[in-house]
């Protein structure tokens, strides 16, 4: 699995660094170095931060709190109080420095400021009554994303990650059942067309 930024919000992208949460969770942030790479890849964050072990642990706790609150929102439940406390505390941290230039925005700050920014991004989407949060339609993905499409008709977190995979699997299943309908090719000595 590669880092993917398809959730429409960086906090949701952070939560999705654990995939297949209900079956066999895959954690893409196994080490502080993984988190540094993730921050560098995320378009809304500074190009370079250093992750010390303690702040790395805070980042993982924030990630799980964001995921829990997003899931609460998807399921129409009340927010989990412990997760609210973690996100609120992170948001009260230092802020990123933002500079506007001809090349657009330049963000700088340390990992604490990054976590504060991510907590604030999570708050913005979780507090928005019009934000349409969904879980990806591919069984086993479990990524929660912000559906901004007209009429909120998106089914997948991303076409590359999931949509095309589901469509390809459905195509293979149709071909298999088509062969079964013809008697597994037995009626056709030449095998399936």
The binding site for Zn ion (CB under 5 A) comprises: 136, 138, 141, 143, 157, 161-162
Report, in Å, the least distance between residue 9 CB and Zn ion.
15
Q: Are 39 and 29 in contact (CB under 8 A)?
A: no
Instruction: Tell me which residue of 108, 33, 17 sits closest to 66, measured CA to CA.
Output: 17
Report the C-alpha gap between 144 and 66 in whole angstroms.
10
Report, in Å, the least distance between residue 155 CB and Zn ion.
9
Report, in Å, the least distance between residue 17 CB and Zn ion.
13
Report, in Å, the least distance between residue 44 CB and Zn ion.
20
Nearer to Zn ion, 125 or 136 (CB): 136
Nearer to Zn ion, 87 or 136 (CB): 136
Instruction: Tell me which residue of 141, 118, 121 sits closest to 131, measured CA to CA.
Output: 121
Residues composing the chain:
193
Instruction: Tell me which residue of 7, 14, 2 sits closest to 134, measured CA to CA.
Output: 7
Nearer to Zn ion, 56 or 67 (CB): 67
Report, in Å, the least distance between residue 41 CB and Zn ion.
18
Nearer to Zn ion, 13 or 117 (CB): 13
For 18, the 3-state DSSP assignment is strand
Report the C-alpha gap between 132 and 151 in whole angstroms.
10
Nearer to Zn ion, 12 or 122 (CB): 12
DSSP 153-176: ---SS-IIIIIHHHHHHHHHHHHH
């Amino acid at each position: 699995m590669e880092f993917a930024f398809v959730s429409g919000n960086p906090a949701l992208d952070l939560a999705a660094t654990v995939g297949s949460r209900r079956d066999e969770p895959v954690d893409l942030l196994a080490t502080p170095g993984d988190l540094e790479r993730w921050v560098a890849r995320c378009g809304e964050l500074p190009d370079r931060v250093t992750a010390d072990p303690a702040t790395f642990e805070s980042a993982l706790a924030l990630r799980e709190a964001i995921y829990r609150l997003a899931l609460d929102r998807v399921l129409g439940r009340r927010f989990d109080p412990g997760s609210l406390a973690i996100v609120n505390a992170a948001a009260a941290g230092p802020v990123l420095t933002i500079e506007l230039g001809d090349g657009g925005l330049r963000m700088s700050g340390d990992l604490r400021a990054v976590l504060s920014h991510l907590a604030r991004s999570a708050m913005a989407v979780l507090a928005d009554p019009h934000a349409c949060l969904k879980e990806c339609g591919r069984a086993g993905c479990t990524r929660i994303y912000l559906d901004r499409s007209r009429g909120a008709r998106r089914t997948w977190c991303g076409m590359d990650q999931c949509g095309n995979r589901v469509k390809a699997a459905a195509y293979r299943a149709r071909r298999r059942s088509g062969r079964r309908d013809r008697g597994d090719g037995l009626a056709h000595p030449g095998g399936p067309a």
